[in-house]
Amino acid sequence: MSASKRVLVVGCGFAGATMARLLAEQVDYRVLLIDRRSHLAGNAYDYRDQNGITIHKYGSHIFHTKSRRVWQFISRFTNFNTYQHRVVAMVDGIEVPVPFNLESLRLCFPPTLADRLERQLLERFDYGVQVPVLDFMQCQDTDLRFLAQFVHDKIFRDYTSKQWGTPPEKTDAAVTARVPVRISRDSRYFTDPYQGIPSLGYTETVRRMIEHPNIELRLGTDYAEVRSEANSFSHIFYSGSIDEYFNYQLGELPYRSERIELEEYAFPYYQSRAVVNFPSDYDFTRIHEYKYYLNEQCPYTVIAKEYPEAFCRGKNERFYPIASESAGALYKAYTDLAQASPQLHFLGRLGDYRYYNMDDAIARAMQLFDELNHELMS
């Protein structure tokens, strides 16, 4: 172990913060942790407003994971409530549970038709399975084909076009598979065994994660400002976008961004739950009502409308990598360039160019740390 070894971690979202903590705590490295934003927690950043409502600046963040290791790690820095996310989509003016499930079916169709469709679904699929809508569309049976087209058109087609600028068939299949049709009555958005909202908020959780004598934090600091010192670090862990690191020399990786517009109202509640999706109506995809997450009581409420838009450098932030064959090839070409610098490691949603949830960002940092552990200890 060497307390004198210095490493640089770029980005203080969950990926960077986890890596900084592990390096500081487990191998006694001195870590310089930078982020060009003026705040911690990356896109999970939250803050309390003047009414005591916790606002998720970049859109709703719900923590959920299958990984006990990730859950135990983050739980060292905060408690979680037992919030289980339930979303509805407005379908022809009716609130329908999403993912679309057997309850949604009953809300969308008259009882005799719903009975018939449910019977056919249960003949075709085992109870409890989850079917991505694009697979569901492959059903040949007339009734099931009708239902698949209904779910596709009412839930996925327009939402996906707004979100990605492409319809489901032209969007990476893994994207719509995140919200599969459920052959069950489970109306939770996530089925992971561990889920909740950190009672302290995400920003405070990350602040505690990086609170360690070996970690020096510099916010408002872009990598470009420390690049000239890069050789003085034994390793660089970079959770920004890999194309930017290489100054876009092979081309630009495509991303989607969003505009989140807040509205405050002088009454206690605006809608029935934290998130209501609007697949077909309006230009926004969903409305978030933040006070539900921590059950914050006050006479006011704040909602956020989420408007997807193209990512444009200097104008907005990178929110979603847009997976495609060409983007994958470009990403791979950048990682090939990175091979020339063995002390340089990419991680996180931007560094790995992967549609990570928060738990994936933490798990990826842990995995990279484990891979390098031997080298770091020597």
Alpha helices (H) along the chain: 14-26, 68-74, 102-108, 111-124, 133-136, 142-151, 158-164, 173-176, 202-209, 223-226, 242-245, 325-338, 348-351, 358-377
Using CB under 6 A as the binding rule, whether residue 363 contacts ligand FAD is answered as: no
Measured from the CB of residue 142, what is the shortest distance to ligand FAD in angstroms?
A: 37
Residue count (the chain): 378
Using CB under 6 A as the binding rule, whether residue 34 contacts ligand FAD is answered as: yes
Which of the listed partners (ligand UDP, ligand FAD, none) does 179 bind, with a CB threshold of 5 to 8 Å by partner kind? ligand UDP
Measured CA distances, 170 to 23, 72, 318, 323, 355 (Å): 41, 38, 21, 11, 17
Tell me if residue 184 falls in helix, strand or coil. coil
Using CB under 6 A as the binding rule, whether residue 132 contacts ligand FAD is answered as: no
Name which of 181, 178, 183, 179 is nearest 125 in CA terms.
183
Per residue in 302-318, is it b (16+ CB within 10 Å) or e — as a string? bbbbbebeebeeeeeeb
Interactions with ligand UDP, residue window 279-318 (CB under 6 A): 279
Alpha-carbon torsion, ordered 179, 182, 184, 187, to 10 deg: 20
Interactions with ligand UDP, residue window 72-101 (CB under 6 A): 89, 98
Interactions with ligand UDP, residue window 168-197 (CB under 6 A): 175-176, 178-179
Using CB under 6 A as the binding rule, whether residue 319 contacts ligand FAD is answered as: yes
Tell me if residue 267 falls in helix, strand or coil. coil
Measured from the CB of residue 336, what is the shortest distance to ligand UDP in angstroms?
A: 29
Binding mask 59-88 for ligand FAD (x = CB under 6 A): xxxxx-------------------------
Which of the listed partners (ligand UDP, ligand FAD, none) does 46 bind, with a CB threshold of 5 to 8 Å by partner kind? none
User: Cβ neighbours of residue 304 under 8 Å, at least 6 residues apart?
Assistant: 55, 56, 59, 60, 260, 261, 262, 263, 287, 288, 290
Comparison of 116 and 227: residue with beta carbon closer to ligand FAD: 227
Measured from the CB of residue 350, what is the shortest distance to ligand UDP in angstroms?
A: 15
DSSP state of 80: B
- Considering CB under 6 A, how many residues would be counted as binding ligand FAD? 35
Using CB under 6 A as the binding rule, whether residue 155 contacts ligand UDP is answered as: yes
Measured from the CB of residue 33, what is the shortest distance to ligand FAD in angstroms?
A: 10
Maximum Cα–Cα distance for the chain, whole Å?
A: 73
State how far the Cα of 227 lies from the Cα of 240, in Å rounded to an integer.
14
Which of the listed partners (ligand FAD, ligand UDP, none) does 155 bind, with a CB threshold of 5 to 8 Å by partner kind? ligand UDP
Contact footprint for ligand UDP (CB under 6 A): 89, 98, 155-156, 159-160, 163, 175-176, 178-179, 277, 279
Query: Can you give the binding site for ligand FAD, defined by CB under 6 A?
Result: 10-16, 34-37, 42-44, 58-63, 222-223, 239-240, 244, 258, 319, 348-350, 356-359, 361
